[in-house]
Amino acid sequence: MSYVILDLEWNGSYSKSAHRFVNEIIEFGAVKTDDEFNITGTFSELITPKIGKKLSGRVKELTKITFEELAGGVDFLTAAGRFGEFLGDDVLMTWGTSDIHALIDNYRYYLDEVRIPFLKRYCDIQEYCEKAMGKYDEGNQIGLGVCAEMLGVEFSEEDQHRAESDAELSLKCIKKFTGTVNVNDYIMKADCDEFYDRMLFKNYFITDLKAPEVDKNQLKFRCEKCGRVARRVKKWRLHNKNFTSDFQCKNCGNKFTGRISFKRKYDAVKINKRIIDNSEKENKSAEEAKST
Ligand SMILES: [Zn+2]
């Protein structure tokens, strides 16, 4: 099996005809490797913007690309077509899924189509590296540069944020783990509806406890002192995506506040549940009162 690690640069531009912002891709950069992650080829293509008339300050600063340079590029569909030929049947890898979202965004704009025609199998390198490091946390993703630093991978700050060198940097991070964690376990089939459903799914917090996804058993709270199921003594209150209520243990009299949230993700509902000790709360407010 061979792999292609892709990195894109894009420029956020407002399209008057589409009435929305498009992350207009301005550069493709990629490296192709054999099954042992030795580089066997590289790919680089600049794209002449059709939507944006200038580069945002942030893009200019990060990439050091100039609008004049891009004038010598090709259009998106030509670049994407050439990249598709370069990819062939290999596994596509990117650092995080934002490049996949940018491709979907551009195909949607130019062809009114969310499917990425060349994509067959996909691997998210960020997820792979984070899990291999034991640092996977969806709420706190690790950027490529930070990851490289954590792994002691050398790179020049100057070359970063250009597509091909970022792809190479991702490769160096992958190689830190390929001896111990099998990359193939992270490859998913991407030429199917399920992949796009997953990519386009937007996580949300459930704000109705009657929703079918809410596991009613999770609304029970156990007394931390004696372990019995405590009785809820107030109605559930919804505040900042959290449901909160007060509880009292019939067995030992312990009073506490229970808090829970339900986050709907593509695969599952993630529950965040905790007990707020009322004595703790009272002590805290007493201390606050003292200090003022
Ligand atoms: Zn109790």
Q: Distance between CA 278 and CA 51 in Å, rounded? A: 56
CA-wise closest residue to 6 among 119, 146, 137, 135: 119
Residue 12's H or E segment, with its range, is strand 3-15
Q: Distance between CA 188 and CA 122 in Å, rounded? A: 5
Residues 137 and 250 in one domain: no
> Per-residue pLDDT for 282 more than 80?
no
222 CA from centroid of ligand 1 (Å): 8
> Per-residue pLDDT for 125 more than 70?
yes
Q: For 218, what's the count of Cα atoms within 13 Å in the CB-facing half-sphere?
A: 18
Q: Distance between CA 190 and CA 92 in Å, rounded? A: 9
Residue 109 backbone phi and psi in degrees, to 5 = -65, -50
pLDDT at 289: 57
Q: Are strands 91-94 and 3-15 parallel, antiparallel or unpaired?
A: parallel
Determine contact, residues 6/94, Cβ cutoff 8 Å.
yes
Assign 167 a pLDDT band (cuts: 50, 70, 90). Answer: very high
73 CA from centroid of ligand 1 (Å): 70
Assign 278 a pLDDT band (cuts: 50, 70, 90). Answer: low
CA angle 147, 148, 150 (to 5 degrees): 60
Instruction: Please give the order of strands across the beta sheet that includes 3-15.
Output: 39-46, 20-33, 3-15, 91-94, 121-124, 187-189
250 CA from centroid of ligand 1 (Å): 7
Of the residues 165, 200, 235, the one at which a domain ends: 200
Residue 17 backbone phi and psi in degrees, to 5 = -70, -35
64 CA from centroid of ligand 1 (Å): 63
Residues 153 and 228 in one domain: no
276 CA from centroid of ligand 1 (Å): 14
pLDDT at 283: 56
Q: Mean pLDDT over residues 80-91, rounded?
A: 98
230 CA from centroid of ligand 1 (Å): 7
Q: 139 or 285, which is more confident?
A: 139
Q: Distance between CA 134 and CA 145 in Å, rounded? A: 18
Of the residues 151, 171, 200, the one at which a domain ends: 200
Q: How many independent structural domains does the chain possess?
A: 2
Q: 154 or 279, which is more confident?
A: 154
DSSP track, 170-223: HHHHHHTTTTTS-GGGGEEE-SSHHHHHHHH---EE---TTSTTS-GGGG--B-
* Residues 254-272 pLDDT 10s: 999 999 999 999 989 999 9
CA-wise closest residue to 91 among 115, 122, 69, 65: 122
Residues 33 and 46 in one domain: yes
Paired strand residues for 123: 93, 187
pTM: 0.81
The amino acid that residue 285 corresponds to is S
The residue length of the chain stands at 292
The amino acid that residue 6 corresponds to is L
Q: Mean pLDDT over residues 16-40, rounded?
A: 95
Q: Are strands 269-277 and 255-264 parallel, antiparallel or unpaired?
A: antiparallel
Q: 211 or 160, which is more confident?
A: 211
Residues 149 and 130 in one domain: yes
Specify the CATH number for the domain of residue 66: 3.30.420.10
Assign 41 a pLDDT band (cuts: 50, 70, 90). Answer: very high
Residues 103 and 195 in one domain: yes
253 CA from centroid of ligand 1 (Å): 6
280 CA from centroid of ligand 1 (Å): 16
The percent of residues in the chain predicted with pLDDT above 70, rounded, is: 95
Q: Distance between CA 12 and CA 198 in Å, rounded? A: 23
Residues 209 and 180 in one domain: no
pLDDT at 133: 92
Residues 159 and 223 in one domain: no
214 CA from centroid of ligand 1 (Å): 26
Residues 184 and 243 in one domain: no
Residues 141 and 238 in one domain: no
Residues 230 and 131 in one domain: no
Cα–chain-centroid distance for residue 176? 21
Q: Which domain holds residue 10?
A: 3-200
Residues 213 and 185 in one domain: no
Residues 121 and 191 in one domain: yes
236 CA from centroid of ligand 1 (Å): 20
Of the residues 179, 200, 221, the one at which a domain ends: 200
* Residues 175-189 pLDDT 10s: 999 999 999 999 999
On average, the pLDDT of the chain sits at: 91
